C-alpha cells in the first residue's frame, strides 16, 4: 500500500474535533458505522460471507483441500487464513506481491480464529498420518474505507460457520457442516486526535496514530492482540478500550448468531 501524504490540516481538524468530543463523520467515540452481514453469498465457495461497514466492503470465502498431516501432528488437519487487498479496493492499494499491510491483516485475523479453538483440528483428520482436511479461509476486500480488520474478522467467523465440508466432491464420505464451536470477535480502536475511537474510517486512519486490535471469545477470554503503527499508549487507555471491546464484541456476536439463525 502506498501511504498518501497526510495533511497537517486533517490532523489538526481531527484533534480539534476530539477536544470537542466529536468525530469527522458525526459518530460518537464508541459508535460503529452501519453494519450488514450476509452469508452464503458466493456460489463456488464452501462457506462465505459479505460484510459492509459504512463504505468498507469485504468478502470471506472458505475452501477445503486434502492434506497429509504433519509428521509431528498425525491426527490434525490444518487451518490457513490469508487476506488479500487488491487494487480494486482503493486508489492507494497497489498490484504486486502481498503488501506488509495485507499480510498483517491476514495474520491477526488468523490468530484470533486459531487461538480461540473454535475449530477442532482433530476433527479435521480423516485417516491419521495420511489424510486430513485443510480449511482455507480467504479474505478479500473490494472497498476500503477504513477498519478492514474488524470487517475481515466478522466475515471470517461468519463464513466458517456456514461452511460445508465437501466430502462428496473429494469422495471421502458425506458432506457435513464444519463444526465451529465458538464465535471469536475482533474489535479495533484507533488513536485519533490523541484519544482512542472505535471503528475508524479511512480519514481517521490516515490522520490518526496507533491502532489496537483485540479479539475476544465467547467468555470474554482474550485470543489475540495487536498494536500497529507508531504511537504510545498507557495502561489506563488500554483498560478502557478493553472494557469497550467486551461490550462491542458481545453485540457483534449477537449479530452473527441472528444472521446464522442460532
Partner 1 sequence: MGGYGDIQMIDENGLRMDGRTATQVRPITIETGVIPVADGSCRMTWGTNDVVVAIYGPMEAHPRKIQRQDRAVLDVRYNMAPFSTSDRIRPGFNRRSREISKVTADALESVVLLELYPRSKIRVEIEVLCAEAGTRCVGLTAASVALADAGIPMTDLVVSVASGKVNDVVVCDLNKEEDNYGEADLPMGVLPNSGELVFLQMDGDLSPEEFQTAWDYNVQAASEIHKIMVEALRKGGVN
Binding site for partner 1 (CB under 8 A): 42-45, 48, 55, 57, 59, 61-63, 65, 82, 84, 86-91, 95, 97-98, 136, 138, 140, 142-145, 169, 202
Contact between 135 and 206 under an 8 Å Cβ cutoff? The reply is: no
CB of 257 to partner 1, least distance (A): 24
CB of 96 to partner 1, least distance (A): 9
Phi and psi for 79 in degrees, rounded to 5? -130, 130
By beta-carbon proximity to partner 1, the closer residue of 156 and 245 is 156
By beta-carbon proximity to partner 1, the closer residue of 162 and 249 is 162
By beta-carbon proximity to partner 1, the closer residue of 5 and 235 is 5
Residue labelled with grid coordinates 475511537:
197
By beta-carbon proximity to partner 1, the closer residue of 169 and 221 is 169
Sign of the alpha-carbon torsion through 115, 233, 191, 2 = negative
CB of 57 to partner 1, least distance (A): 7
CA–CA distance, 214 with 155 (Å, rounded to integer): 16
CA–CA distance, 237 with 104 (Å, rounded to integer): 23
Contact between 70 and 88 under an 8 Å Cβ cutoff? The reply is: no
Q: Counting Cβ atoms within 10 Å, is residue 247 exposed (0-12), middle (13-18) or buried (19+)?
A: exposed
CB of 94 to partner 1, least distance (A): 10
By beta-carbon proximity to partner 1, the closer residue of 2 and 234 is 2
CB of 65 to partner 1, least distance (A): 7
Taking the CA of residue 197 as centre, how many other CA atoms within 13 Å lie in the half-sphere pointing to its CB?
32
Amino acid at each position: 500500500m502506498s501511504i498518501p501524504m497526510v495533511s497537517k490540516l486533517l490532523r489538526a481538524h481531527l484533534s480539534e474535533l476530539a477536544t470537542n468530543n466529536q468525530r469527522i463523520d458525526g459518530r460518537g467515540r464508541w459508535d460503529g458505522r452501519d453494519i450488514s452481514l450476509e452469508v452464503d453469498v458466493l456460489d463456488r465457495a464452501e462457506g462465505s460471507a459479505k460484510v459492509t461497514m459504512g463504505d468498507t466492503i469485504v468478502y470471506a470465502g472458505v475452501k477445503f483441500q486434502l492434506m497429509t498431516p504433519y509428521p509431528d501432528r498425525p491426527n490434525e488437519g490444518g487451518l490457513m487464513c490469508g487476506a488479500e487487498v487488491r487494487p480494486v479496493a482503493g486508489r492507494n492499494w497497489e498490484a504486486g506481491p502481498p503488501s506488509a499491510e495485507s499480510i498483517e491483516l491476514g495474520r491477526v485475523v488468523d490468530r484470533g480464529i486459531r487461538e480461540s479453538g473454535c475449530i477442532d483440528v482433530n476433527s479435521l483428520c480423516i485417516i491419521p498420518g495420511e489424510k486430513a482436511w485443510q480449511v482455507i479461509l480467504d479474505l478479500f476486500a473490494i472497498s476500503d474505507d477504513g477498519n478492514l480488520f474488524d470487517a475481515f474478522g466478522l466475515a471470517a467467523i461468519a463464513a466458517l460457520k456456514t461452511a460445508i465440508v465437501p466430502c462428496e466432491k473429494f469422495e471421502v464420505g458425506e458432506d457435513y457442516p464444519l463444526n465451529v464451536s465458538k464465535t471469536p470477535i475482533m474489535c479495533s480502536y484507533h488513536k485519533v486526535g490523541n484519544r482512542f475511537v472505535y471503528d475508524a474510517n479511512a480519514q481517521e486512519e490516515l490522520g490518526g496514530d496507533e491502532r489496537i486490535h483485540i479479539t475476544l471469545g465467547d467468555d470474554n477470554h482474550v485470543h489475540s492482540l495487536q498494536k500497529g503503527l507508531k504511537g504510545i499508549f498507557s495502561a489506563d487507555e488500554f483498560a478502557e478500550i478493553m472494557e469497550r471491546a467486551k461490550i462491542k464484541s458481545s453485540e457483534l456476536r449477537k449479530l452473527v448468531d441472528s444472521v446464522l439463525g442460532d
